[in-house]
């Protein structure tokens, strides 16, 4: 069986990669991919804790989180399509013009 420390190390690395991706990118699609990496780190944490403690609560939380992030991604992509049609670009820096 894989030790719990390896899962924590993996999720920490994934979380750092996701945060770096959000900070360093300017395009909407890259930001959503980076946020997906962060959520996947949380899901791995839930499942590894459920496996370590022999409980199904972590797996149910992971499924709920997965369903929630799918809906969030669909809405974000729809907003990015609308934004892309208006500006011709996916750059987040152009969002400053649209206040209201």
The pLDDT of residue 67 is 93
**Binning pLDDT at 50, 70 and 90, where does residue 6 land?**
very high
Cα–Cα nearest to 87, from 77, 97, 100: 97
C-alpha R_g of the chain = 17
Across 58-84, average pLDDT: 88
The pTM score is 0.80
Average pLDDT over residues 76-84: 86
pLDDT digits (tens, 9 = 90+) for 22-60: 999 888 888 889 999 999 999 999 889 888 888 888 888
Beta bridge partners of 27: 91
3-class secondary structure, 1: coil
Does the structure show a pLDDT above 90 at 88? no
Which domains, and CATH codes, for the chain?
4-90 (1.10.287.3510)
Quick one: how far is CA 37 from the chain centroid?
5
10 and 47 Cβ atoms separated by less than 8 Å: no
């Amino acid at each position: 069986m894989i030790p719990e420390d390896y899962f924590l190390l993996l999720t920490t690395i994934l979380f750092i990669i996701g945060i770096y991706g959000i900070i360093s990118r300017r395009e909407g699609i890259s930001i959503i991919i980076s946020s997906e990496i962060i959520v996947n780190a949380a899901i791995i944490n839930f499942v590894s804790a459920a496996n370590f403690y022999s409980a199904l609560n972590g797996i149910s939380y992971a499924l709920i989180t997965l369903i929630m992030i799918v809906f969030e991604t669909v809405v974000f992509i729809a907003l990015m399509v609308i934004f892309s049609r208006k500006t011709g670009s996916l750059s987040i820096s152009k969002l400053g013009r649209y206040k209201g």
